Amino acid sequence: METRRTTGKAASLRWQILRQALLRRPPPHIPEGQSETSIKSISRKTTRGFNLIPCQLVEQNDAVAVEETNLSGSDDHPRPREARLCYTLPIEGAPTLFLTQRVEERAYLGDFEICNRYNVDNTGLVLNMLFSKALATQSFICYVCGKELQGSIELMRLIKQDFYYSFTFLGFILFQVTVNGYVGHWPSEEVLAYFCLSHADMFRSKRVIELGSGYGLAGLVIAAITEAVEVVISDGNPQVVDYIQRNIDANSGAFGATRVSSMTLHWDQEEISNISNAFDVIIASDCTFFKEFHNGLARIIRFLLKKEGPSEAIFLSPKRGNSLDKFLETIKQNALSFSVTENYNAEVWKHHQAFMHGNDSWPSYEKDHCYPLLVRITI
């Protein structure tokens, strides 16, 4: 997923908040309903969504203590909890897809260090984000490197203000919202997968790469349905790429003659000449939020797209304040052309309209932060 660097001023403030939280003061009183409202406001991943592709949990393992040396040099830490999801593609004769995803209740020091080493966030790694069951009693707990932090209402306020739907705090902080054990997904990722499913001809006989793919749902849909020549599913976090490869292996029988591979790809990466101007189509969802990385994203689009013949990048992303507008300004500055479409699929639009008019299946729905616009970018 996307990358993030903290500024000196913001980093200092976050260190102060972390220090205060670690003092283990009694949790402050949170007014009734405030904690639930705050979760709905800042959670970018959701147990709700457009529900365009039926999905069910088929298996979930519990964390198991294993003897393993992590990046911090300590050992005996739990193996991450994982969930296996089954996606039933809503077209006749389509295969089912199985995706294994990490479902974690805490961040480990190794996660912090990988985040800092590769200059990536971990929003693509952990499917759910932890606000523990203590929320039911108006308190919240977050876990940093396995340490329990209680009563840090200042931390929640800062995260809501500074990152809103995507957050990296000291490289990696995870929050989890679970409903009856069910795991959630990125709304824009699901919409992108459905868009690709509905426009299979767009990818037929093409070379395709997905950027910031997380667990790779959209790329796997293209590989399974569209008869693309090649699909590369990429992310900047090597932990995420391990999961992508596992998901490719688990679904390899669905791909026919399509070549499918995973790739660790950073948007500011230099040594990637073997894929220069190699792709007919780039796809991505929710990759425009962090303004610091707009230049790298625009550069990698220009670098990857074929210059001979038609080629384009297809992005699905909510506006999220001015972040999408700023990205489009950067696209222009890099001599790329773009178009933005609000109503691009009848089924997606129908769901959007229902959410806007009070459908309580997604009560925290806000157009600016939840409804992905279709952005098409060309050289």
Band (81; pLDDT cuts 50, 70, 90): confident
Which token pair is 280?
């007919």
* DSSP 8-state secondary structure symbol assigned to residue 136: G
Q: Residue 201: what are its φ and ψ, rounded to 5°? A: -60, -25
pLDDT at 169 over 50: no
pLDDT at 109 over 80: no
Domain ranges of the chain: 8-162, 187-378
pLDDT at 113: 73
**Mean pLDDT of the region 360-370:** 90
Mean pLDDT is lowest, of 11-25, 183-197, 340-354, for 11-25
70 burial via Cβ count (<10 Å: 0-12, 13-18, 19+): middle
pLDDT at 3: 46
Which has more confidence, 63 or 357?
357
Sheet containing 82-88: order of strands: 55-60, 82-88, 96-102
Q: Which of 275, 255, 366 is nearest to 319 (CA)?
A: 366
Helix/strand/coil for 267? coil
Residue-wise pLDDT tens digits, 5-37: 444 444 455 455 555 544 544 444 545 444 444
pLDDT at 196 over 70: yes
CA–CA dist 250, 254 (Å, integer): 9
pLDDT, averaged across the chain: 75
Q: Which of 145, 123, 149, 147 is nearest to 134 (CA)?
A: 149
Which has more confidence, 56 or 60?
56
pLDDT at 80: 76
Q: What is the pTM of this model?
A: 0.74
**Mean pLDDT of the region 42-71:** 63
333 burial via Cβ count (<10 Å: 0-12, 13-18, 19+): exposed
pLDDT at 213 over 60: yes
Long-range contacts of 309-313, Cβ-Cβ distance < 8 Å, separation of 24 or more: 309/280, 310/280, 311/279, 311/280, 311/281, 311/378, 311/379, 312/281, 312/282, 312/376, 312/377, 312/378, 313/281, 313/282, 313/283, 313/284, 313/375, 313/376, 313/377, 313/378
pLDDT at 321 over 50: yes
187-378 CATH: 3.40.50.150
pLDDT at 152: 43
200 burial via Cβ count (<10 Å: 0-12, 13-18, 19+): middle
Question: Cα dist. 319→1, 90, 227, 288 in Å?
Answer: 17, 28, 32, 9
**Mean pLDDT of the region 156-168:** 39
Which has more confidence, 48 or 323?
323
**Mean pLDDT of the region 130-139:** 31
